[in-house]
Amino acid sequence: MPAQTVIASDAVHRSAAPRSASEAKHAFARGRLRSKNWDRHVADVDRMASSPGFQSLRDLILELARLSAGEQVLDIGSGTGLLAHAAAPHVACVIALDESPAMCRHLETKFTRLEITNAKVLQTTAMDLRLPDGAVDVILSNYCFHHLSDADKRRALAEIIRVLRPGGRLVFADMMFRISFTSRRDRSVITLILKRLIRHGPAGLLRLLKNAVRMVSGHGEHPAGVEWWREALLGAGFLDVTVSALEHEGGIALARKPGAL
């Protein structure tokens, strides 16, 4: 891939955090999270968010976001608040967005319990942010967008650039590979996932079959590759686009809305 396609930094290419996050996500998926009804899995998501791998990935996202006092931050797909809780002490306000009513109730309870007074919860989707134009300075997200189709990812990007102020920043981590064998990275990631499932014997093969059925029926996850994200971000109008593959299936992206704050 040409050098201008993926701009890497030392922080982006740390290996320990992505590997642990990947292992945590796959262990989680092998366990309880078999349904897309997130309301039933608040406790599971909270356990996943507290794993060392996702804690390290959270730190990496926040480091790259370079948050500062006075900024308004939006966390898309906040879940149980992995990013929102950590960002709140460093900014003026955090909006924790999730489409699950149960997740939102959990967030509100946790904010109250932790006495986080500069955070609020918004129940909606990434494709309908329900915020005014130019309302926020920074948008963060972690492992949310692979649940959206490519078309919905583009709708989400259109909403994101709309609600960002001129010069505003987008930083997110997500699964970044294609379910195909057209690139070396895709082949490597898929092979790794298959090996993990096969190691679990008949139960793993059954999960593999279920995942294949979900994918064919259109109800599975929809990860996009590094190059897809780079082109989509540029196509949505972002500048200073950086998209880098992390270890295993993950990747991280940074971009800026044109203009100056």
- Residue-level pLDDT at 260: 80
Instruction: Give alpha helix (H) positions in the chain.
Output: 16-30, 42-49, 52-65, 82-87, 101-113, 150-163, 184-198, 201-217, 226-235
Is position 9 within any domain? no
Question: Would you state the pLDDT for residue 177?
Answer: 77
pLDDT over 70 (residue 249): yes
Mean pLDDT score across all residues of the chain:
78
In the predicted structure, residue 191 carries a pLDDT above the cut 80: no
Could you tell me which residue, 178 or 222, shows the higher pLDDT?
222
Residue 217 pLDDT > 50: no
* pLDDT (tens digit per residue) in 28-58: 343 333 444 555 555 666 677 667 777 888 9
Residue 211 above 90 pLDDT? no
**Average pLDDT for 113-118:** 95
- In this predicted structure, what is the pLDDT of residue 20? 46
Q: Does residue 11 lie within any of the structural domains?
A: no
Number of domains present in the structure of the chain = 1
- Mean pLDDT in residue range 71-99: 96
**Does residue 254 carry a pLDDT above 80?**
yes
Tokens 């924790």 locate to: 96
Instruction: Write out the residue range of the structural domain in which residue 190 sits.
Output: 16-255
**In this predicted model, what pLDDT tens digit does every residue of 224-242 receive, in sequence order?**
989 999 999 999 999 999 9
pTM for the model stands at: 0.74
Predicted confidence (pLDDT) at residue 248 exceeds the cutoff of 80: no
H, E, C per residue of 27-76:
HHHHCCCCCCCHHHHHHHHHHHHCCHHHHHHHHHHHHHHCCCCCCEEEEE
Q: Tell me whether residue 6 is in a domain.
A: no
Residue 187 lies in a domain: yes
- Does some domain include residue 8? no
- pLDDT of residue 124 exceeding 90, the answer is yes
- Output the pLDDT for position 104: 94
- Which CATH number is 198's domain given? 3.40.50.150
Please check the confidence at residue 24 and state whether its pLDDT lies above 70.
no
pLDDT over 90 (residue 208): no
